[in-house]
Amino acid sequence: MPHQDTRILLLEGVHQNAVTTLKQAGFARVELLSGALEGNALADALQRADVVGIRSRTQLSDAVLQTAPHLQAIGCFCIGTNQVALDRAQALGIPVFNAPYSNTRSVAELVIAEIICLLRGLMRRNQAVHEGRWPKDAHGACEARGKTLGIIGYGNIGAQLSILAENLGMRVIFYDIQSRLPLGNAEAAPSLDALLAQADIVSLHVPESPATRELISARELYQMKKGAMLVNAARGQCVVIDDLCEALQSGHIAGAALDVFPQEPKSADEALESPLRGMENVILTPHIGGSTIEAQANIGLEVAGRFIQYLKNGTTIGAVNFPEVSLPLRDNTHRLLHIHENRPGVLSAVNRLFAEHNINIAAQTLSTKDSVGYLVMDVARSDSEVALEQLQGVDGTIRSRRIY
């Protein structure tokens, strides 16, 4: 398919940078919608798209993807990819790209702001002044300097937060299931319980997985120091909200800030249903960790760039569910992409068929991941049509296409 005919659908107000970048690269058919879609509206929209870009609200479930097997690529204009059925996308030969680095700073800065607000009790003081009172006292107001920040999950965001917190004079400890090199003076805690017992503020920065679901429940909350505080800008399912509410009401936890929730509103007009609403020592923000102008602009560029590389030359670097392949383009050739079941004999079958039809392979690379193999080949332009026909008949083929 010529690039100018590729239909690209971008949902949820993806930054205009993405549209501009794609059009500058020759992709003329870009449709941008401001909101998320679901149900029949989503199914209908996917029927007119070869590529789709989403943020966190649109759910590309197993059932949804099975109705749109023609999709060539999916882009998550955010860090998380749990809103996409990655295994189904892989089985259908659809690489999924995300933006794991572009909003790390914005999330880390929000967490720092929330830590300071919690420590100074800014929420109740702000409200009091608005209501005509003047609570000019130091009761319950503390500095960040000298406090211990416990970071659970020391990936891109956790490490960035670590640096900012140290610059405030905080002591930083972290816990991660993987071995991580500490930055600055951060120290690795030997266990989650050890971190919880030491930290004045605990901040979560973990992916959504079975292991992190309900990671913080009553047990963990009461492992924390009395008067400690909790920040969650990771995933809503990581904290048991009812247990947190009880720990706050009992006074064991002194304050909390949440940017993510187990069930989030689907639109700006819908209210968040949570027992934490109305608590003066709790900050509730509407999943805005990555919602800065700078972060969204960078994300737009990052994911759009991955789309362009994949659609123009088959590069899958950065795909979360797919073999990562990058092969420089060669003059006077057409590129063939062959996505197939990862099983023995596929490559030999391809090479045998090409030899039988006297098709010379100018360049070739194969990579596999889980159940999928990804073969990229360059052949002479005069041979590419026959070569594509032969590829499509190889046993185990999921999909194949030609890049001009």
Rg (CA), the chain: 25
Phi, psi at 272, each rounded to 5° = -75, 125
Cα 356 to Cα 393: distance, rounded to the nearest angstrom:
14
Question: Collapsing DSSP states into helix, strand and coil, what is residue 159?
Answer: helix
Cα 37 to Cα 50: distance, rounded to the nearest angstrom:
16
Residue with tokens 């966190």: 56
Cα 208 to Cα 99: distance, rounded to the nearest angstrom:
16
Cα 216 to Cα 213: distance, rounded to the nearest angstrom:
8
Task: Please say whether the dihedral angle defined by the alpha carbons of residues 185, 191, 197 and 200, taken in this order, is positive or negative.
Answer: positive
Residue 374's nearest CA partner among 327, 308, 331, 329 is 327
- Indicate which residue of 15, 55, 88, 287 is catalytic: 287
Tokens of 293: 């102008």
Task: Please say whether the dihedral angle defined by the alpha carbons of residues 25, 31, 32 and 35, taken in this order, is positive or negative.
Answer: negative
Cα 358 to Cα 368: distance, rounded to the nearest angstrom:
27
Q: Can 235 be counted among the known catalytic residues?
A: yes
- 228 residue type, one letter: A
- Indicate which residue of 15, 125, 205, 235 is catalytic: 235
- Indicate which residue of 264, 324, 399, 401 is catalytic: 264
Active site residues: 235, 264, 287
